[in-house]
A and B are shown apart, each in its own frame.
Chain A
Amino acid sequence: MALLTCDNLSFGYEGKALIRPLSFSVNAGDYLCIVGENGSGKTTLMRTLLGLQPPIGGKVLLDDGLRRTEIGYLPQQTRVQRDFPASVREIVLSGCQGRLGKRPFYGEEEKRRADEAMEKLGVAPLARRCYRELSGGQQQRVLLARALCATEKLLLLDEPVAGLDPMATEEMYRLIEGLNKEGTTLIMISHDMHYALGHASHILQIGSDWFYGRKADYLRSAMGRNYLRGGREGR
């Protein structure tokens, strides 16, 4: 069953679509990597999927059982966040904001969720530390824990390993794959085609044209073969 479906979706800024309309659907348990060159619109696509900006044409459809509040998001870090005075626990707990409904304060249920998410991502010992004093890898794990507080169903990750050193990158990938194995559906933007081909179940490449399909199909496609030959995508 498709969790999220794009029906002839075109996206971009100020009424200008970046590429021809996209149609694809993501099923429960999928691990979709969105790849493409810088400036090809990966982040714009993700923001459109999340409803942060309106599509230029077409639709993003969510499965009936999936509410907007059940989508987790790991954005790229902003400058504001890098010097924000907040403890790790405060940030992770803010992932539960969609669960508050009309209540003003977090209850036991949300606090337990936050503790579990911190435990799962190995940031529980940092709970009282200040976010801005953490390493890049630790910060990303905190933000992933926050996304996990929102949902275990569907996570959208925007370059979760950007700027991390090789050790932290490997750790982050390991945690992300662990989530997918436990049943979380993932849509991840990645720069690392090598990694995407190694671990994702589906590939969406965007650029001057787009391809969507299973990894095996991608490798057989014209775009995939072109990429593997080391050439740039067919222009």
Chain B
Amino acid sequence: MDKLILYLQYPIARYALIVGVLIALCSSLFGVTLVLKRFSFIGDGLSHVAFGALAVASVLRLSNGMLFVLPVTVLCAVLLLRAGQNAKIKGDAAIAMLSVGALAIGYLLMNLFSTSSNLSGDVCSTLFGSYSILTLDKTDVWLCVVLSLLVVAAFILFYNRIFAVTFDEDFTRAVGLSAGAYNLMIAVIVAVIIVLAMNLVGSLLISALVIFPALSAMRLFKSFRAVTVCAAVLSVVCAAAGILISIVTETPVGSTVVAVDIAAFGLFCLIGKLKKA
């Protein structure tokens, strides 16, 4: 406990907590929609793309990788969504191709051109998150805060539309609205969330942050609003708990947060079963 208080006196640890909680909030909001639309795999595919993009950024020695990774990931989100809607090209195959391809090329580039003495350490931290997010600099934190607030604002403003296209896309189009535009918006926002979340949990673990809170909330709650609110609260609590635990026990942040999410999922499953019985 003393250790925790000591650490939290450093502004950098507080930044980490703020960023972590914001990322968890954003990813859980759209998690409900992704799970229900059977889009979970898009999140997974995009996270690999983000890894590849980050590798390219580091090879090009860009000073701020985010500014390169973000547009590339958004572009891929749009492409994947198109592929998913086109019945001729199998959507899941396209996603598998793109994501595994990005992963392989990314690793290859890092190996060929890396100047770092600790290559495997670099790769590991991109895949599983930094050993601690205490390495965030101030620009990262601000970028993250601004983007998170935009994501939350977009979610609230478009809440009713997001519900509508999630529940029944055909109906939305039948009453003359453009479901495609909303799908596009969802894909772009998910890409933003994934790039943000890479800082916290690394590209391999992002899907967990998106999916677990939503699935946990769906065990217990029965309306879309209740599920969304519960997923958001749960995700924030788990992220905060995970980060604090990782500070004390000196475990990697990303996997600790995900482990807490998994524990919460187990708990919610159990409560759900007990409620039914």
| A interface residue numbers (CB < 8 A to B) | 47, 50-52, 67-69, 71-73, 75, 78, 80-81, 84-87, 90-91, 93-95, 97-98, 100, 104-106, 128-130, 133, 146-147, 150, 156
Contacts and interface: CB of A to CB of B under 8 A. Distances in A.
A94 B157 contact: no
A84 B171 contact: no
Secondary structure at the B interface, as helix, strand, loop or mixed, is helix
Given A80-B38, A85-B218, A85-B223, A71 B168 contact: no
A86 B224 contact: yes
B168 A81 contact: yes
B176 interface: yes
B158 interface: yes
A86 B167 contact: yes
Given A52-B170, A91-B167, A94-B164, A73 B221 contact: no
A51 B173 contact: yes
B161 interface: yes
Given A52-B174, A69-B177, 19 more contacts: A47-B170, A50-B174, A68-B175, A73-B175, A85-B36, A86-B163, A86-B167, A87-B224, A90-B224, A90-B225, A94-B160, A94-B163, A94-B164, A95-B171, A128-B223, A129-B222, A130-B223, A146-B171, A156-B174
B171 A80 contact: no
Interface string B20-43: 000000000000000011100000
Contacts of B222: 85, 87, 129-130, 133
Nearest to A93: B160
B224 to A, nearest CB: 4
B175 A69 contact: yes
Given A90-B223, A104-B159, A105-B160, A52 B167 contact: no
B157 A104 contact: yes
Contact of B174 (A73, A84, A128): A73
Interface residues of B, number: 29
A133 B275 CA distance: 15
A150 to B, nearest CB: 5
Secondary structure at the A interface, as helix, strand, loop or mixed, is mixed
Contacts of B174: 50-52, 71, 73, 75, 156
Contacts of B175: 68-69, 71-73, 95, 97-98, 150
A149 B156 CA distance: 23
Contacts of A47: 170
Interface in B86-115: none
Given A84-B167, A94-B163, A67 B225 contact: no
For B36, B38, B174, the residue with the greatest tally of chain A CB atoms inside 10 Å of its CB is B174
B227 interface: yes
B172 interface: yes
Nearest to B38: A80
Contacts of B159: 104-105
Contact of B171 (A51, A75, A130): A75
Contact of B160 (A67, A68, A78, A104): A104
Given A85-B224, A130-B222, A98 B160 contact: no
Nearest to A74: B171
Interface string B131-165: 00000000000000000000000001111110110
B114 to A, nearest CB: 44
Contacts of A50: 173-174
Contacts of A130: 222-223
14 contacts: A68-B176, A80-B37, A80-B38, A81-B168, A84-B167, A85-B218, A85-B222, A85-B223, A86-B163, A86-B223, A87-B225, A94-B164, A104-B158, A104-B160
A135 B227 CA distance: 22
Contacts of B226: 85
Contacts of B36: 80, 84-85
B14 to A, nearest CB: 33
A106 B163 CA distance: 13
For B159, B168, B225, the residue with the greatest tally of chain A CB atoms inside 10 Å of its CB is B168
Contacts of A68: 175-176
A52 B177 CA distance: 11
Given A52-B170, A80-B38, A85-B222, A71 B158 contact: no
Nearest to A99: B175
Contacts of A69: 175-177
